[in-house]
Every structure is written in structure tokens, then in C-alpha cells.
Structure 1
Amino acid sequence: MIESPYFPYAFALLIAVPFLIYTRQFVYSYIKFKKQELNFLTVKGQSEQRIHAYERITLFLERIKPANLVTKFDENLATHEYLFLIEKTINEEFDYNASQQLYLTKNSWNKVVNCKNNTLHLLHKTYENLSNESTLQDYKTVFLMNYMNGEDYISTCIEDLRKENLIIN
């Protein structure tokens, strides 16, 4: 048998190569698993944020329902003061929730904006059609009646959000 001075190095290399290959494969598998875990956690976090957005927008829509608006503020206010305060409240709450549009579809966000605008329009239209002698209670009654006689766009929007949320999640 021919003895070479490189024989111990060749033997060490022969043993080390499979070990290095298995180590490399283990490291790549571990990295792949960690990426999948991170992706899962990211998707889970986005899903939770999306659910929270739907909850906040639904709460906003519930708050701008005329039945809930007429219970706000002091009964001793003048009609124009009440109108100003309600409009201010709706716009402030809408601005507070505007960031939630990131988690809703464009169509759903447009429906929410339309609900807000329709409610404000109904508030002003009711005020314009009332006589100057009308009390705040008269205004609230006519406002509620106008909403009830028209399309219930807020409940429709909430139902659409509920369906969309079920589809997405």
C-alpha cells in the first residue's frame, strides 16, 4: 500500500464533507422554518388589525345612526347649535377613524364615507325644511322620520362590512 503524506488530510476531508453538507442543510431548513413562522405571525397580526378596523368602523356607523344622534347633547340647545355640535362630533369621529381605511376594501370605505355624507346631508336638509318656530324636539322627530322613510344606508353598510369581514377572514 502506498502511503501518502496527504492521506490524513483526505481522510479528514472525507469525514468533514458530509458533516458540512448536513449542517448546511439543517441551517437552511431552520431559516426556512423561521421565515414561515414570521410570515404566519405577520398574517395573524394583520388579520387582528383588520378585525379591529371593522369593529371601529362599525362602532362609528352605529354612533351616526339618527336614533343615536338624537339622544346626544342638552335638550335646551337651539336647533342650529345642536346641528353644529352633531356635525362637529360626526366629523371628529370620522377623522379619528380615517386610518382604518387601510384595512378595508376601497368599496367598503367608500360606503362608509357615503354613510357619513348622507347623514350630514340629511341633518342639513331637515334643518332647511323646518320652520323657524320649530323646537329642537320637533327637529329631532322630523330628522328621525326622514331617515326612517328613506333608505337605511347605515344598516346596509354594516351588513356589507359583516359579510366582507367573513369572506376576508
Structure 2
Amino acid sequence: MKKEDRQQFTLRITQANSTELIVILYEMLLCYLTDAQEALQEKEIPEGSASEDKDLFREAVRKARGCLNELMTSLDLKYEPAPELMRLYLFCIRRLALGEARRDSRFLEEIRRVIEPLAGAYREIAGQNSAGPVMNNSQTVYAGLTYGRNTLTENMADQGTNRGILA
């Protein structure tokens, strides 16, 4: 994941409600799957960097597993369709382990085929959720064109020390 993507996800997390957080987790998972697939597709690897590509693949898989674990822990199994989602997430964890062990992107693609429709469904649901952001006390970010030549800058307002989730 690129630095810009991490910054964008961080910004979105600070402004997201509970449903949007699930959408963000799905998008992060898909991004890490893409990173893992790209690390596997590097065909012309110089002698010294084979280990580095292997490390990039393992790191992307580890982070994808972290997203899946977070999705699983966010489920409340008392309500439907949480048990079915748990089974899908466990399937994805097993496929991710096989993909990592065999270094085969087909397993990663199977996960993508499961997660993309779920992400789309949660995007629709997120539009209907009128709850405010989970983080009520976060910084406000304003973005706009500056006086510079077509450059975009982000200005932070209210940079006090009392930020984050309010109880």
C-alpha cells in the first residue's frame, strides 16, 4: 500500500461511522491482496532482491490476514447474517494461508471474488447509515486548491491534544 493510500485510509477512518469502517476494512483488504499479487507477479527478479519480494509478499499477506481478523472480531454472532459472514471470513483465511504457502495468486483471486461483492453491499448500506462518525473528537481536515500552481493541500483545524474517541 502506498503512503498516499495509507494517509487516505487514515483520514477516512477518522470521519467514518461504524458501517463505513467495515467498508474501509474491505477496501484495505483488497488493496493488500493487490499488493500480494503484484509481489508474486514480479518475474524478472534480480539475484539480491528475491528475498525482498518474498518479504513484500509475506507482509501484504500478513496485513490482509489482519484485516480479515478485524472483520471477524467485529461480528456480533447473535445477529444474522454474522454466522454466515464468519464462515466466509474463515474460508478467506484458509485460502490466504494456502496462497501464502504455495505462493499462488489464484487463491488470492478467490478471496477477492468473495470480498468484492460484500464490499459493494456494505457501501450501499453505509449510504443508509445516518449515524455520525465513530471518532467524535478528531481533527477536521479541509482540502482545497492553494495559491500555488494547481497544488492540493490539506489544512488541519483544531489541533488540540484532546482528540480521538469520546466515551
Fold similarity call, TM over 0.5: no
- By relative contact order (CA 8 Å, sep 6+), the higher-ranking structure is 1
TM value normalised by structure 2: 0.37
Is the radius of gyration larger for structure 1 or structure 2? Answer: 1
Where is the strand percentage greater, Structure 1 or Structure 2?
2
Where is the helix percentage greater, Structure 1 or Structure 2?
1
TM value normalised by structure 1: 0.37
